[in-house]
A = this chain, B = another copy of it.
Amino acid sequence: MSSYPYPMLDKPSMIWSRQTDKSKDIKVHEWIETAGEAEPNWEDYDVTILGVPLSKSSISTSAASENPEAMRQAWKAFSTYNLDEEIDLAQLKAIDLGNVKQHVTNIEYTHQQIQDAMVAMRTNHPHTLPISMGGDHSITAMLVKGWKQAHPNENIGILQLDTHFDLRDPKLIGPANGTPIRNLIESETIQGNHVHNIGLHGFFNAKELKDFADKAGLHYTTMKQARKKGISNAINYALHQLEEEVDTIYLTVDMDVLDIVHGPAAPAATPGGMYSEELFEAVQIAGQHIKVKAMDIVCLDPRKDVGEQSVKSAVHTMLSFLTGYCKR
């Protein structure tokens, strides 16, 4: 390279990642490695990041398929150092595996690929923490099924941050984005009483879905209840409840849990929801819990965003979760 005759240029490969000053500031995209041609040494990695760009399974049209790439662009503006906690995420070794391949017209096929991806992650390097960037909420059912396939004897619990139950009937609309929790219960991947939903509120869940939830034994803390007792208490309570019953807690964050003002890119966000700093606090606490072994972030359509507010919140959510993980 010494012979490259352009000292005054930033090469293309340097443009995105170029440091304007030569400080030791590490940005997130400089920390997270990306899977390339050579076989990584899987032993070394603490965290794997997976893009799942599927949103054809959404009831309404959604470009949540563009979220993984949007998050990758947005995290270039984040340092690895969390000033509040004085924790540097760079102590973890993380790798971005890329995106699950998508079939243009066969959703079922894509769903199977997603499940296979989780099986492969659990098989190839079961010690790593998988973080999945959706895509819509239908992917959660596939990812959890993949986990179950890899670990058939585990009891899996779900900690769900969501404005909705996601208990619509897949028999009527297929495995769409309103159905994952019911899908998991009815396929006996999980038990209804191993789910705890935090964030339900307002006029956004049919009475019959609540009745289904009650009958299935689901636990839930509404947004109002969570605020009354404090977000951290609500999360800790849910974690305590789940840890008694299950081996693994899967954390799924539907970004529509955010108030519509805080998550404008979540197509189903509503007034009266969670604020972003409440969400960051919630996932950091979850990240600290020993049984929380996987996480996903779903239902964010970057085309609906206002000035990257929501996508940056999604990245912050991921990093806050990892901050908790470092504190274990």
CB within 8 Å of B: which residues of A? 1, 3-6, 8-16, 20-26, 28, 34-39, 50-51, 55-59, 61-63, 65-66, 69, 72, 78-84, 86, 88, 96-101, 103-108, 113, 116-117, 120, 123-124, 138, 168-169, 172-176, 178, 200-210, 222-224, 259-262, 264, 270-272, 276-277, 280, 303-304, 306-309, 312-313, 316, 319
Contact = CB atoms under 8 A, between A and B. Distances in A.
Given A12-B35, A14-B98, A84-B222, 8 more contacts: A6-B97, A6-B117, A9-B50, A10-B99, A20-B104, A21-B173, A78-B204, A259-B277
When all copies of this chain in the complex are counted, the total is 6
A39 B81 contact: no
B201 A264 contact: no
A91 to B, nearest CB: 11
A181 to B, nearest CB: 15
A203 B319 contact: yes
B224 A84 contact: yes
B105 A176 contact: yes
Contacts of A105: 56-57, 107-108, 138, 173-176
Contact of A83 (B34, B39, B106, B205): B205
Contacts of A38: 1
B206 A81 contact: yes
Contacts of A81: 203, 205-207, 210
A104 B171 CA distance: 11
B120 A4 contact: no
Contacts of A83: 200-205, 210, 222
B260 A261 contact: no
